[in-house]
């Protein structure tokens, strides 16, 4: 019996007339989803794709991609999803030894392209022999080369087996190749909810979809929530259907969380936590406006060493394809997150790799960002370290300003404001200016500056 047979039985047990996926005004029911999975699975078999083969998917969320993902799981393939990026596709397919690329044609038929690659990565070779469904996800690479993460899907998806909650209409905000996006997908479908895909992830498109389709759950990021508040699009659309907003992938600025609660007083605000290497976990906030959380997961163990969070869980990756094993002798994964602890709760302070060492003094970017963002002239700020021959690093800040004001004047105001609340070594020495938000900044702040 297939080790994930429970997943397909769960899908079959949902009312077949209920909407499973809505894509560009077209709704597909659970009955149609099951039929599509079956059709694609038959096509996989007929084209000689065997279990254990590594198959690449270059796509975003759609009825076709979701059905194909499920069919490949059923066939016990190792799946390598890439969200519509030719450059990432070339790099990641090569790194993961993708032997076949799966493409759903416009007529709905499934086609496989032979890449001509033979498996050479020892971890991929060893896992493929087990004929188990797996997935390779790549880290964002914000501090260097992206790491290929191999997961056993049987372990990664086990947490959903006995988890039941309300059926919700949801936008999968994170991409098809992101652990958060996949977590949303399985959580929604296995509980009989509806996945509503969006072509663009800007505030207008997201708010329009919430209004049009009655979205109840919006899982997103602090960067997007900041942009949403600044855009005022939430005032131009009816978002009364929203019940829950979750955020993760990065720490949230204090002012953004405060404004979010002010503008959405009847919406439950939940901070999530997860990593590409460990999967995502159920969390509980101390309160709606608090950044203190605890993780409610029976298999999870944590420990804190020098303010650094370590995690041990059965959903952890098998390992990196292109890096050394990061687990310690007890099987704990070093998350790289710095935290404060208060009983069962902890607060994420930022990434250890983002800490700026200014002449031996440690600076957390989030602390400086919180202060600068208090200024009404600032609509976005990213703080990072920049090389300095004397101090090693200095604090630098990229800002997006909201008013017509000279650059010299805003620099003076930023430094004057920071001096009221920060030690001298934490005040930005260099201030640069952003022209606008980019798509990457909607998902997550990027601190990998060239001169860091």
pLDDT per residue over 397-424, tens digit each?
999 887 778 888 899 999 999 999 999 9
* Farthest CA pair distance, the chain: 69
Rounded mean pLDDT of 156-166? 86
Mean pLDDT of the chain: 89
CB 429 within 8 A of CB 414: no
Rounded mean pLDDT of 383-392? 86
List helix spans (H) across 321-448. Answer: 365-372, 407-421, 439-443
Rounded mean pLDDT of 254-267? 91
Task: Assess whether pLDDT exceeds 70 at residue 9.
Answer: yes
Distance CA 350, CA 447 (A): 12
Is pTM, for the whole model, over 0.85? yes
Please report the pLDDT score of residue 24 as a whole number. Answer: 87
Please report the pLDDT score of residue 388 as a whole number. Answer: 83
Rounded mean pLDDT of 117-122? 87
Distance CA 407, CA 275 (A): 38
Task: Assess whether pLDDT exceeds 50 at residue 15.
Answer: yes
Distance CA 414, CA 175 (A): 35
When pLDDT is cut at 50, 70 and 90, the band that residue 359 belongs to is confident
Instruction: Please tell me the number of Cα atoms within 13 Å of 124 on its side-chain side.
Output: 26
Please report the pLDDT score of residue 450 as a whole number. Answer: 45
Please report the pLDDT score of residue 452 as a whole number. Answer: 44
Q: In this predicted model, which residue has the larger pLDDT, 204 or 443?
A: 204
Percent of the chain with pLDDT over 70: 94
Please report the pLDDT score of residue 79 as a whole number. Answer: 96
Task: Assess whether pLDDT exceeds 60 at residue 71.
Answer: yes
Take residue 101 and report the two structure tokens written for it.
């690329």
Please report the pLDDT score of residue 448 as a whole number. Answer: 58
When computed from its CA atoms, the radius of gyration of the chain, rounded to whole angstroms, is 23
324 CB neighbour count, 10 Å cutoff:
7
For the packed helices 30-46 and 63-74, what is the interaxial angle rounded to 10 degrees? Answer: 60
Please report the pLDDT score of residue 141 as a whole number. Answer: 54
127-154 pLDDT, tens digit per residue, is 999 999 999 999 865 455 789 999 999 9
424-433 pLDDT, tens digit per residue, is 999 999 999 8
Rounded mean pLDDT of 213-226? 93
Distance CA 237, CA 250 (A): 27
Distance CA 115, CA 148 (A): 19
Please report the pLDDT score of residue 144 as a whole number. Answer: 59
290-348 pLDDT, tens digit per residue, is 889 888 777 788 899 999 999 999 999 999 998 899 999 999 999 999 999 988 898 98
C-alpha separations of 150 from 55, 140, 147, 167 in Å = 13, 15, 10, 30
Q: Residue 274's closest CA among 225, 222, 315, 228? A: 315
Distance CA 342, CA 347 (A): 8
Q: Residue 316's closest CA among 306, 304, 305, 302? A: 302
Task: Assess whether pLDDT exceeds 50 at residue 439.
Answer: no
Please report the pLDDT score of residue 312 as a whole number. Answer: 92
C-alpha separations of 417 from 226, 368, 372, 396, 434 in Å = 21, 11, 7, 15, 20
Q: Residue 193's closest CA among 178, 213, 177? A: 213
């Amino acid at each position: 019996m297939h080790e994930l047979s429970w997943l397909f039985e769960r899908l079959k047990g949902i009312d077949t007339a209920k909407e499973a996926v809505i894509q560009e005004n077209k709704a597909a029911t659970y009955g149609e989803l099951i039929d599509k999975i079956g059709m694609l699975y038959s096509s996989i078999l007929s084209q000689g794709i065997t279990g254990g083969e590594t198959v690449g998917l270059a796509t975003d969320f759609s009825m076709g991609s979701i059905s194909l993902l499920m069919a490949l799981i059923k066939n016990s393939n190792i799946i390598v999803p890439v969200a519509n990026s030719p450059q990432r596709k070339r790099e990641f397919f090569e790194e993961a030894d993708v032997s076949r690329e799966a493409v759903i044609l416009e007529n709905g038929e499934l086609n496989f392209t032979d890449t001509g690659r033979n498996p050479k990565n020892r971890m991929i070779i060893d896992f493929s022999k087990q004929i188990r469904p797996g997935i390779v996800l790549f880290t964002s690479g914000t501090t260097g080369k992206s790491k290929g993460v191999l997961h056993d899907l049987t372990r990664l998806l086990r947490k959903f087996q006995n988890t039941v909650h309300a059926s919700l209409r949801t936008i999968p905000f994170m991409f098809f190749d992101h652990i958060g996006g996949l977590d949303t997908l399985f959580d929604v479908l296995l509980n009989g909810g509806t996945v509503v895909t969006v072509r663009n992830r800007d505030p207008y498109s997201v708010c329009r979809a919430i209004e049009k389709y009655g979205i109840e759950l919006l899982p997103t990021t602090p960067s997007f929530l900041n942009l949403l508040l600044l855009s005022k699009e939430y005032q131009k659309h009816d978002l009364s259907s929203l019940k829950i907003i979750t955020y993760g992938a990065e720490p949230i600025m204090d002012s953004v969380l405060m404004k979010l609660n002010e503008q959405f007083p009847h919406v439950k605000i939940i901070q999530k936590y997860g990593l590409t290497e460990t999967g995502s976990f159920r969390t509980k906030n101390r309160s709606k406006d608090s950044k203190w959380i605890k993780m409610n997961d029976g298999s999870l163990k944590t420990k804190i060493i020098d303010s650094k969070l370590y995690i041990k869980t059965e959903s952890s990756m098998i390992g990196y394809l292109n890096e050394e094993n990061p687990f310690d002798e007890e099987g704990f994964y070093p998350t790289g997150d710095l935290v404060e602890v208060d009983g069962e709760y902890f607060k994420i302070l930022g990434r250890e790799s983002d800490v700026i060492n200014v002449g031996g003094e440690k600076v957390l970017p989030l602390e400086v960002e919180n202060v600068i963002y208090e200024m009404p002239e600032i609509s976005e700020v990213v703080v990072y370290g920049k090389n300095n021959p004397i101090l090693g690093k200095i604090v630098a800040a990229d800002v997006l300003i909201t008013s017509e004001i000279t650059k010299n004047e805003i620099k003076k105001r930023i430094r004057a404001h920071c001096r009221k609340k920060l030690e001298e070594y934490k005040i930005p020495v260099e201030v640069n200016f952003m022209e606008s938000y980019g798509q990457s900044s909607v998902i997550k702040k990027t601190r990998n500056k060239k001169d860091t």
